């Protein structure tokens, strides 16, 4: 029986609250906090309607460490579950450190003024978390998150040696809009428009955005074109998969999406530096975010499926081996269960499962950890039980 403070009331936060509310034997008390109280209250009403549980809500500026400390003092939670913006990771970690509260997030820290994300800032907290006797779980979404656990399961149970990993993320769904992003537009566009990177033969290789692609047959979706991006789980998996020769991350995009993105980039609407407009300073990408549909609003009419997994090659018992470990998730089924689309669902469920692993002590440690450092089996068992079944296919 544990109390959890969930910070962030966007599309993923909504799923996390729903899924935690479905497991009262672990999450006995749930508090949702966000800068916009009205968002929290809307989720509060929905959870009462669909799950029959009452949750508490609070207003919180997650950038303000003192506000978060004050809320931690008031609530005394067992865990802070961060599904706010990646910009806020360090402020929330500072608050947890000050009050010795365990911490979990779904995406690594990214500075607001530079389109760059890496684990160095958060890994630097390891010794301080260790000295405080608390645990930080980094990247407990799907990618990063489940993909890390798929790799750990392959390393520990399927292979003697792993040579290559391709993480492949496909959203084969249709939301009916000419252009929209499936999670926070600002974070999504920053991620896609920066240079791609992958790791091969002991070094990082950098490429222009969306310049390398391959066609892949995704289970449940079919053949789609996937492009190399940089994604944060590559950085931690390079450390924790011994003998690895290459690891890449691919994501699918349709031609219509890429055309819109290129036009927006060409006219300057994806810029992250401030410009002056009518006597005021505005950030173009934040203005664009205000024009685009809220990702949470896409859910009701979303059709199709996501298909995400890890294509892993190596050897077992001296023989070559190639497997694809994956999950398929249906947008319409997610809406029926939690009023959300599959991209939010596939991030929110692993966040709840990671929290469950920590609160039930199946995962325990002092310091900060990536998921592949921990036992894969209990996580994967819970993942399937809570809505994301996974499959292993020999290829």
Helix (H) or strand (E) holding 360: none
> 3-47, pLDDT tens digit by residue?
999 999 999 999 999 999 999 999 999 999 999 999 999 999 999
Of 224 and 190, the structure prediction assigns the larger pLDDT to 224
60 has which bridge partners?
A: none
Our measurement of the distance from residue 317's CA atom to the centroid of its chain's CA atoms, rounded to an integer in Å, reads 34
| 226 within 8 A of 213, measured Cβ to Cβ | yes
User: What is residue 255's predicted lDDT score, i.e. its pLDDT?
Assistant: 79
Nearest residue to 98 (alpha-carbon basis) of 67, 119, 121: 67
End-to-end CA separation in angstroms for the chain = 43
How long, in residues, is the chain?
395
Distance CA(228)–CA(226), nearest Å, equals: 7
CB 343 within 8 A of CB 306: yes
pLDDT tens digits along 74-97: 999 999 999 999 999 999 999 999
C-alpha–C-alpha distance, residues 364 and 25, integer Å? 19
Closest CA to 154 of 392, 382, 352: 392
* Residues whose CB is less than 8 angstroms from the CB of residue 279 and which lie 6 or more positions away in sequence, other chains included: none
- Look at residue 197 and give its three-state secondary structure: strand
What domains can you pick out in the chain, each with its CATH number? Answer: 2-142+347-378 (3.40.50.720), 146-339 (3.30.360.10)
Confidence grade of residue 284 (pLDDT, cut at 50, 70, 90): confident
Q: Which pLDDT value is given to residue 115?
A: 66
What phi and psi, each to the nearest 5 degrees, are found at residue 348? Answer: -70, -40
Could you tell me if 154 and 315 are in contact, meaning their C-beta atoms sit under 8 angstroms apart?
Answer: no
Nearest to 368 by CA among 72, 132, 127: 127
């Amino acid at each position: 029986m544990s109390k959890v403070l969930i910070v962030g009331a966007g599309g993923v936060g909504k799923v996390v609250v729903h899924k935690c509310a479905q497991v009262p034997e672990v999450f006995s008390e749930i508090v949702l906090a966000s800068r916009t109280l009205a968002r929290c209250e809307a989720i509060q009403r929905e959870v009462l309607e669909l799950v029959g549980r009452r949750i508490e809500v609070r207003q919180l500026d997650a950038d303000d460490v003192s506000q978060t400390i004050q809320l931690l003092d008031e609530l005394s939670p067992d865990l802070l579950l961060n599904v706010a913006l990646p910009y806020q990771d360090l402020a929330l970690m500072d608050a947890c450190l000050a009050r010795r509260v365990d911490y979990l997030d779904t995406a690594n820290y990214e500075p607001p003024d530079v389109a760059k994300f890496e684990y160095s800032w958060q890994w630097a907290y390891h010794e301080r978390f260790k000295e405080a006797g608390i645990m930080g779980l980094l990247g407990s979404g799907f990618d990063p998150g489940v993909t890390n656990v798929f790799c750990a399961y392959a390393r520990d149970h399927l292979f003697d040696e792993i040579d290559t990993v391709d993480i492949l993320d496909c959203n084969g769904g249709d939301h009916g809009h000419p252009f929209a992003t499936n999670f926070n537009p600002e974070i999504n566009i920053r991620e896609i428009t920066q240079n791609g990177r992958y790791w091969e033969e002991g070094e990082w290789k950098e490429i222009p955005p969306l310049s390398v692609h391959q066609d892949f047959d995704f289970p449940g979706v079919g053949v789609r074109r996937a492009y190399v991006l940089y994604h944060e789980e590559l950085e931690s998996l390079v450390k924790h998969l011994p003998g690895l020769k290459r690891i890449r991350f691919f994501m699918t995009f349709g031609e219509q999406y890429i055309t819109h993105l290129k036009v927006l980039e060409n006219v300057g609407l994806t810029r992250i530096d401030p410009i002056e407009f009518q006597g005021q300073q505005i950030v173009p990408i934040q203005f664009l975010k205000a024009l685009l549909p809220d990702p949470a609003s896409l859910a009701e009419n979303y059709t199709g499926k996501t298909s995400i997994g890890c294509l892993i090659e190596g050897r077992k018992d001296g023989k070559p081996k190639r497997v694809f470990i994956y999950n398929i998730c249906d947008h319409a089924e997610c809406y029926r269960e939690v009023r959300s689309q599959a991209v939010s669902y596939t991030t929110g469920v692993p966040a709840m499962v990671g929290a469950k692993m920590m609160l039930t002590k199946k995962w325990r440690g002092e310091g900060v950890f990536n998921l592949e450092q921990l036992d894969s089996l209990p996580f994967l068992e819970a993942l399937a039980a809570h809505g994301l079944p996974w499959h292993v296919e020999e290829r």
